[in-house]
Amino acid sequence: MRYALGTVLSLPLSLMLIGLLAAALPMPWQEWLVLQLVAAVLLWMLLVLLVALPAKAKPILVALGVANLAAWLALQATPLYGVGA
């Protein structure tokens, strides 16, 4: 259950973290979309791995949920959403 939930929660977080990276880097996000995809998949795997480290499941799953919310809020402060090519 812990790993299944970790897998589900890690996917949006990895994508949003990559989005934040795209917002931070001084190059157009459209130009490195494929690399973002590969990096997001790798990050997703590593985040699931992270779920196994703490002794208790609840804190890490809550932390993942909070991190998702924080990443989403941080993304709202970037000009990424809705900015076309």
Among left, alpha and beta (phi > 0; psi -120 to 50; other), residue 34 is: alpha
Least distance in angstroms from the C-beta of 67 to another protein = 13
Least distance in angstroms from the C-beta of 77 to another protein = 13
Contact between 17 and 43 under an 8 Å Cβ cutoff? The reply is: yes
> Cβ closer to another protein: 33 or 62?
33
Residue ranges that bind another protein, judged by CB under 8 A: 3, 7, 11-12, 15-16, 18-19, 22, 29-38, 40-42, 44-46, 48-49, 51-53, 55, 72, 75, 80-85
Specify the residue for token string 């959403």: 81
